[in-house]
A and B are shown apart, each in its own frame.
Chain A
Amino acid sequence: MSLDVATIRKDFPIFDRTVRDGKKLIYLDSGATSQKPNSVIDAEGDFYRFHNAAVHRGAHQLAEEATDAYEGARSKVASFLGARAEEIVFTKGATESLNLIAYAMGNAASGSRFALTSKDQIVVTEMEHHANLIPWQQLAARTGAQLTWFEVLPDGRLDLNSINEVISENTKVVALTHQSNVLGTINPLDAIVARAHEVGAVVVLDACQSVPHMPIDVKTLGVDFLVFSGHKAIGPTGVGVLWSSVLEELPPFLFGGSMIENVTMKSATWAPAPKRFEAGVPNMAQAVGLGAAIDYLSKVGMDKIHEHELLLTKYFLEQLQKVPTLKIIGPTDLELRGSCISFTVGQIHPHDLGQYLDSQGVAVRTGHHCAWPLTRKLGVPATTRASLYLYNFEEECDLLVEAIVKAQKYFA
């Protein structure tokens, strides 16, 4: 493998600790949140230690330094995504980014291309995380618009056969995930984006599971909005990103300080994007930490990270499928597939399996993974999920398999 995992792991202090009475930590839950390198932890701490001040305000040196650090982080995110800095909004997470879009659309003046009525449609998919489903359900409920969706086929792919019916002339927005956090499926975007734009709809992409793991260029994707969270990309919690090329057309969602152009006792006007969408003193230290995370990922190389994860996913899929009664929930080939691997093991409930794996030092996620309609559709109440990142390596897969086999004996 082209990635020097042993060296990378030295940068992540959490791998120095043990769990459950001295067991080596096998961390296979990066799809929930990733671990952090020292450079990110230090960047966040150093902001507080040396540069802390409210950005965009004070007439003093610290305010200048804080503003430079915060806006520098914005520029880093922009170049990481192939975007311009003014197209990047910092939020407190991907969930807030998605709610921001939905609420801003709900605030759009009638006649705007974002304003929804009972004649309009919102399109999602059955594989959405709750964060990219419920904001749209609620927007539909507030506006009377109809919520429709692409169904998921048994192999874990979207059914795009009826794309021209699902995305209709009445569709205003198509919101979908780039990579399923349960199945690992990467959705093909070209046809969806082309059809959405043909009918004048915008495309919102939940890229929480893709931006941390593969090179992303927003111009190539062709979508109108893209969101991701910092903490899944080795960055701090409490910071997310909203990218859009059409921010100037959208009204604000949160109102308050910093997002205004002019204010009287009776009314206010708005600052240009992105400030229009960043009311209040922002999450400066976290944004700066995310900047450090992007520096780290860029230095390693997103191409290399992606290649490493593909090789690792191939190995995990091969080894896991050798375990009797283990069933992969999601694509078993590497075509358009990422490194979230969900599975069931015979009749062992995922909670029980997860508990046993934990006793062996293996950290996985179990449950419906905040995608309850999807697990219901697939007929599994819950799954066990191993999700991989740049610091994982093949031997961890062997230890996972060994622990699963022991769990089968334990619960036999």
Chain B
Amino acid sequence: MMELDSLYQEVILDHYKHPLNKGLSEEYDVQVHHINPSCGDEITFNLSTEGGIIKSITWDGVGCSISQASVSIASDLLLNKTLEQAGSIAEVFIELMHSKGTKDGDPLVLEDAVALAGVSKFPARIKCALLGWMAFKDAAVRIKQLKEPDTRGSN
């Protein structure tokens, strides 16, 4: 049962039962919808920024405890970060997910998200943990396109 407990840490089950920022805000800068086609898990993700700083993340979705806890953690962790900071935190998290159980994750960077380190030992569940983070990455790209129009053509 040790292996399973490393997957279902208490903090994950807490986030699953009491998710943060769940319920879509009426206003948002961008909204994305992501699906995990292998299992049917779905998430809708709203993102808003002010001056490059993330001011609001809300989401709704259906899925397993890993996918729901992971997006709950992300929605809290990335709040009030700049898009660049949030982007690099996401990269650190994605690297942790692909570490095949060889890394614990840096709690100073990832905070509650280190509880998901055990997922990396279960290949079938990595996509579950990444669903919300991929939605964030997608939303971040779109928000940059929206708020920082490409000026390369003006030179």
A residues at B contact (CB < 8 Å): 20-21, 349-352, 355-356, 359, 366-368, 372, 375, 381-382, 410-411
Contact (Cβ within 8 A) A368 B65: no
The CA-CA distance from A20 to B121 in the complex, in Å, is: 13
Q: Residue A367 contacts which of B39, B42, B62 (CB distance < 8 angstroms)?
A: B39
Mask: chain B, 9-28; 1 = CB below 8 Å from A; 0 = not: 00001000000000000000
Contact (Cβ within 8 A) A352 B64: yes
Q: A351-B39, A359-B3 are in contact. List 20 more A-B contacts (CB 8 A).
A: A20-B3, A349-B64, A349-B65, A350-B64, A351-B125, A351-B128, A352-B65, A352-B66, A355-B4, A355-B7, A355-B125, A356-B4, A367-B40, A375-B40, A381-B40, A381-B41, A381-B42, A381-B62, A411-B13, A411-B65
> A411 to chain B: which residues have CB within 8 Å?
13, 65
- Most B Cβ at <10 Å: residue of A352, A356, A381, A411: A352
Contact (Cβ within 8 A) B39 A382: yes
In the assembled complex, 27 residue pairs joining A and B whose CB atoms fall closer than 8 Å, in A order, are: A21-B3, A349-B63, A349-B64, A349-B65, A351-B39, A351-B63, A351-B64, A351-B66, A351-B125, A351-B128, A352-B64, A355-B7, A355-B125, A359-B1, A359-B4, A367-B39, A367-B40, A375-B40, A381-B40, A381-B41, A381-B42, A381-B62, A381-B63, A382-B39, A410-B8, A411-B13, A411-B65
> B128 to chain A: which residues have CB within 8 Å?
351
Instruction: Closest B residue to A382 by CB, please name it.
Output: B40
Q: Is the interface of B mostly helix, strand, loop or mixed?
A: mixed
> B3 to chain A: which residues have CB within 8 Å?
20-21, 359
> A355 to chain B: which residues have CB within 8 Å?
4, 7, 122, 125
B38 within 8 A of A: yes
Minimum CB–CB distance from B71 to chain A (whole Å) comes to 14
The 10 closest A-B pairs by CB, nearest first: A351-B64, A349-B64, A359-B4, A367-B39, A368-B40, A381-B62, A352-B65, A352-B64, A381-B40, A382-B40
The CA-CA distance from A152 to B50 in the complex, in Å, is: 49
Instruction: Closest B residue to A376 by CB, please name it.
Output: B40
Mask: chain B, 116-129; 1 = CB below 8 Å from A; 0 = not: 00000010010010
> B65 to chain A: which residues have CB within 8 Å?
349, 352, 411
